[in-house]
């Protein structure tokens, strides 16, 4: 299964994916994943977009790994 690693950006709820696209978590929307065609609600949905293009997709949390490194360094 295709997976991407998301890294936090300076913007809230805006993540940079290891595939070069950007991801935003979506709440309150039910849709099928563009990649695996499963319903998104058990895993969460992300809006995937490639900047400067109109290509956008909804992908589910099954493909997403959130990078938590660097959190301890804040304060
Ligand atoms: Zn999926």
Domain that includes residue 18, residue range: 4-70
Q: Give me ligand 1 centre to Cα 58, in Å.
A: 8
| Residue 51 covered by a domain | yes
- Does the residue 18 lie in any domain? yes
Ligand 1 centroid–CA 12 distance in Å is 23
Find the largest Cα–Cα distance for the chain. 41
Number of compact structural domains in the chain: 1
Residues with CB under 5 A from ligand 1 (ion): 33, 35-36, 60, 62
Per-residue pLDDT of the chain (75 residues; tens, 9 = 90+): 899 999 999 999 999 999 999 999 999 989 999 999 999 989 999 999 998 888 899 999 999 998 766 555 444
Task: Evaluate whether residue 75 is within a structural domain.
Answer: no
Q: Say how many Å lie between the CA of residue 2 and the centre of ligand 1.
A: 9
Q: How far apart are the first and last CA of the chain?
A: 37
Which pTM does this prediction carry? 0.83
């Amino acid at each position: 299964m295709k997976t991407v690693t998301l890294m936090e950006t300076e913007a809230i709820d805006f993540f940079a994916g290891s595939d070069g696209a950007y991801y935003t978590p979506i709440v309150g929307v039910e849709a099928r994943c563009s990649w695996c065609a499963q319903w998104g609600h058990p895993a969460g949905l992300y809006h995937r977009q490639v900047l400067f293009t109109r290509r956008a997709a909804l992908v589910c949390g099954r493909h997403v790994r959130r990078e938590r490194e660097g959190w301890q360094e804040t304060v």
